Chains A and B, each alone.
Chain A
Amino acid sequence: MDLFHNIVLGFSVAGTPFNLLLAFVGVFLGTVIGVLPGIGPMTGVALLIPICFGLPPSSAIILMAGIYYGAMYGGSTTSILVNTPGESSSVVTCIDGHEMAKKGRAGPALAAAAIGSFIAGTFATIMLMAFGPVLAQVALKFGPPEFFALMVMGLTVVTSLAGRSMLKAVFSTLLGLAIAMVGIDLQSAVQRFTFHNLQLMDGLEFLVVAIGIFALTEVFVNIADMKNPKEVTLEKIKGGLWLTKDDWKRFWPSSVRGTLSGFFVGGIAGAGAAVASFVSYGIEKRFSKYRKELGTGAIEGVAGPESANNAAAGGSLIYLLCLGIPGSGTTAIMLGALMMFGLQPGPLLFVQQPAFVWGLIASMYIGNIMLLVLNLPLVGMWVKLLKVPEYLLTLFILIFSFLGVYTMNNSVQDLFLMVVFGIVGYGMKRADVPAAPIILGMVLGKQMEEKFRQSMVISDGSFGIFFSRPIAVAFLLIAFASITNPYWKYIPMGFRKLFKRAA
């Protein structure tokens, strides 16, 4: 009964004409971002946050969630037609998707991606509805030590899956935490790293860093590479845009497997959308009836991974809304944005802002349907976007970055800092240091410190508090395992060496 009441509440919020329009604008812009080469979902969401200013929070999150979903969706279109993945989670889709397109089956491939995403997105939303409130209830009982441990776990799990080298990923996370320390410390009114600069007293604005590190870095990457242009060959869409009866038969099992594995591996275990899509492809390779055809344009290779990455994206929203822990770079940016609106995602959100939470959930259903309707018939239009010359696109990213950052505080200093972070971001890109963990560290840093200090007040300065509470211990153990597991295999080697020496 309660659930029913909440759903009605949600649809009454999301169903207003204005919010419906925003959901539409969101999925539309999101798809544009997903399709455009050189703008990943993180850049896109960061660039579009400024257009949410001035909207009430529930409308703003509806718009942002639409952008997020749209970008996830749009990425698959370019994977299939051009063989360039829009983001890392549609890399796998390229394999069979593009092969299908080459064989003249681009239509069914696009349809399988869209329908798979729709099914997975809907499944994740239902799960959020069913388990979100339960999880929030549990989390409400957490004290500062549990929250601190939870944040440590959130950071390490995401860090352990970012980038090629674990050391660099950890460094990046710590850099984010370091940046979060700039500004006046609220508990002691001490200025930290402000250099007596008035604007730095409020700390570094998160969008300044995010847009600098993502959008400007992409600008630099594009410019640095413009002299060696990539060949783009676009596969034509022949035939219908729908699945045949035979396609449907093969589509269902893969999509269901992809949805479930994506949701649990990518969402619940926190592995993220990219890993989810790889896992799903692996599952198809093992269990699909048509596994021999994979790699040569089998529909399973599209339906599975595309379902998986969307289910994972939905799953990480559960953490964001119920615990306030972002499960991916893009959700970290959304978390930062919500905080800018004065909302603190976490268990209290479900209790204090039911209209906000359920409005968002309802808008996710609506957004998913809109995406399905919007994407398939308009695919021809999306493809035209690929013809925008790269240098114009780059310049547009540039002016939107400046505009977005300026409108936030009307501060020219922010613009300057953004450029500096753009240079830092490019340097990191060249050195292959992953950038997403910085944002994660930055959004969680202040809270993490606060929870740490509160815990220490409770325990009167003893670290024992983190090890005497079972939930906190469990979180910390997972955190430790996630970050050390690549090195475990060296342990027996070390022992052998040790014993050899002894013997």
Chain B
Amino acid sequence: MAKVAKREERIASVVMTVFAAAYFAGTFIFIPPTTIKQQVGPDVFPKAVGILMLLVSILYLIQQFRGMSKEADEKRAAIIGAEEKLETKADLKTMGIILIIMFAYVFFFDILGYAITTFLAFFLGVLVLNRKHLARDAMIAFIASFGLYFIFSLVLRVQLPAGPLSLLGL
């Protein structure tokens, strides 16, 4: 397990450094110059943040690849009560499927409307995660999605996309 954690931390340190570098570079590209004369222009603060971020991530990168002692970190964690590290292996397949459901949910949100999309997403989620009580869970999915829709759109008057339900006049 320790090995997995170590590899993950190395990947993280690379990702962080790349992100910081990209952000810093971005401050030159995505912040156009102004014509107004100011002591501190709109690009100064982001640049400072970017360079600090780059500095910190490079330090972290060095720490990971040169293998510095973790003793201090562990002591610190015990004093401040840091959360436990995630060390179990992730079930990436299930996570991937749920992620696809989430993106599909966003995609169909306006097309099918809130109630129908939510019902489908919830039920698909049940199918992926646990199929032991399908009838009960389908009922729960139905009550939750349509119930929330009616509470929000009719009682609280919060607009949610109706989708095909609008044809029924709901």
A residues lining the B interface (CB < 8 Å): 53-54, 88-89, 91-92, 161-168, 170-171, 174-175, 177-178, 181, 185, 187-195, 219-221, 223-228, 272, 274-275, 277-278, 389, 391-392, 394-396, 398-399, 402-403, 406-407, 410, 412, 415-416, 419, 422-423, 427, 429-434, 448-449, 452-453, 456-457, 460-461, 486
Partner of B42, one of A188, A410, A422: A188
In the complex, the 5 A-B pairs of residues with the closest C-beta atoms, listed nearest first: A431-B12, A224-B90, A185-B42, A391-B129, A274-B81
Q: How far is the CA of A410 from the CA of B129 in the complex (A)?
A: 29
Whether B159 and A410, one on each chain, are in contact in the complex, defined by CB atoms closer than 8 angstroms, is yes
Min CB distance B27 to A, Å, is: 8
Q: How far is the CA of A165 from the CA of B122 in the complex (A)?
A: 37
Q: How far is the CA of A278 from the CA of B103 in the complex (A)?
A: 42
Whether B83 and A398, one on each chain, are in contact in the complex, defined by CB atoms closer than 8 angstroms, is no
Q: Which residue of B lies closest to A417 (CB)?
A: B106
Number of B residues, CB within 8 Å of A = 75
The answer to whether residues A190 and B31 also contact, given A181-B46, A225-B88, A456-B39 and a CB cut-off of 8 A, is: yes
Partner of B118, one of A219, A277, A399, A410: A399
Min CB distance A341 to B, Å, is: 16
Known contacts A178-B49, A226-B91, then 9 further A-B pairs from the complex at CB < 8 Å, ordered by chain A residue: A171-B53, A192-B43, A399-B118, A403-B118, A410-B159, A415-B106, A456-B40, A457-B39, A461-B39
Residues of B within 8 A of A181 (CB): 45-46, 49
The answer to whether residues A406 and B73 also contact, given A164-B85, A228-B88 and a CB cut-off of 8 A, is: no
Q: Which residue of A lies closest to B85 (CB)?
A: A432
The answer to whether residues A453 and B40 also contact, given A171-B16, A223-B91 and a CB cut-off of 8 A, is: yes
The secondary-structure label for the interface of chain A is helix
Min CB distance A410 to B, Å, is: 6
Min CB distance A484 to B, Å, is: 13
Whether A88 and B137, one on each chain, are in contact in the complex, defined by CB atoms closer than 8 angstroms, is no
Whether A174 and B49, one on each chain, are in contact in the complex, defined by CB atoms closer than 8 angstroms, is yes
Whether A423 and B99, one on each chain, are in contact in the complex, defined by CB atoms closer than 8 angstroms, is yes
Residues of B within 8 A of A189 (CB): 34
Whether A178 and B82, one on each chain, are in contact in the complex, defined by CB atoms closer than 8 angstroms, is no
A-B contact count (CB 8 A): 201
Q: How far is the CA of A402 from the CA of B101 in the complex (A)?
A: 13
Partner of A88, one of B56, B83, B92: B83
Partner of B94, one of A226, A389, A422, A449: A226
Q: Which residue of B lies closest to A489 (CB)?
A: B72
Whether B95 and A452, one on each chain, are in contact in the complex, defined by CB atoms closer than 8 angstroms, is no
Q: How far is the CA of A342 from the CA of B64 in the complex (A)?
A: 43
Whether B30 and A193, one on each chain, are in contact in the complex, defined by CB atoms closer than 8 angstroms, is yes
Whether B118 and A188, one on each chain, are in contact in the complex, defined by CB atoms closer than 8 angstroms, is no
> Is B109 an interface position by the 8 A CB rule?
yes
Q: Which residue of B lies closest to A165 (CB)?
A: B73
21 A–B contact pairs at CB < 8 A?
A88-B82, A161-B80, A174-B52, A177-B49, A178-B53, A191-B31, A192-B46, A223-B91, A223-B94, A224-B91, A226-B91, A278-B79, A389-B130, A394-B129, A398-B125, A399-B148, A407-B152, A415-B106, A431-B9, A452-B45, A461-B40
Whether A226 and B129, one on each chain, are in contact in the complex, defined by CB atoms closer than 8 angstroms, is yes
Whether A164 and B77, one on each chain, are in contact in the complex, defined by CB atoms closer than 8 angstroms, is yes
Whether A274 and B86, one on each chain, are in contact in the complex, defined by CB atoms closer than 8 angstroms, is no
Q: How far is the CA of A402 from the CA of B9 in the complex (A)?
A: 30
Q: How far is the CA of A187 from the CA of B144 in the complex (A)?
A: 45
The answer to whether residues A174 and B56 also contact, given A164-B82, A277-B81, A433-B12 and a CB cut-off of 8 A, is: yes
Residues of B within 8 A of A174 (CB): 49, 52-53, 56
Whether B76 and A486, one on each chain, are in contact in the complex, defined by CB atoms closer than 8 angstroms, is yes
Partner of B158, one of A277, A407, A422: A407
Residues of A within 8 A of B40 (CB): 452-453, 456-457, 461
Min CB distance A221 to B, Å, is: 7
Whether B103 and A419, one on each chain, are in contact in the complex, defined by CB atoms closer than 8 angstroms, is yes
Whether B12 and A164, one on each chain, are in contact in the complex, defined by CB atoms closer than 8 angstroms, is no
Residues of A within 8 A of B73 (CB): 164-165
Residues of A within 8 A of B50 (CB): 178
Whether A416 and B42, one on each chain, are in contact in the complex, defined by CB atoms closer than 8 angstroms, is no
Residues of A within 8 A of B26 (CB): 193
Residues of A within 8 A of B82 (CB): 88, 162-164, 434
Whether B39 and A429, one on each chain, are in contact in the complex, defined by CB atoms closer than 8 angstroms, is no
Q: How far is the CA of A419 from the CA of B96 in the complex (A)?
A: 12
Q: How far is the CA of A225 from the CA of B158 in the complex (A)?
A: 35
Q: How far is the CA of A403 from the CA of B161 in the complex (A)?
A: 11
Partner of B106, one of A225, A416, A430, A460: A416
> Is B140 an interface position by the 8 A CB rule?
yes
The answer to whether residues A398 and B102 also contact, given A54-B156, A220-B95, A486-B72 and a CB cut-off of 8 A, is: yes
The answer to whether residues A278 and B156 also contact, given A170-B56, A394-B129, A461-B39 and a CB cut-off of 8 A, is: no
Residues of B within 8 A of A227 (CB): 91, 94
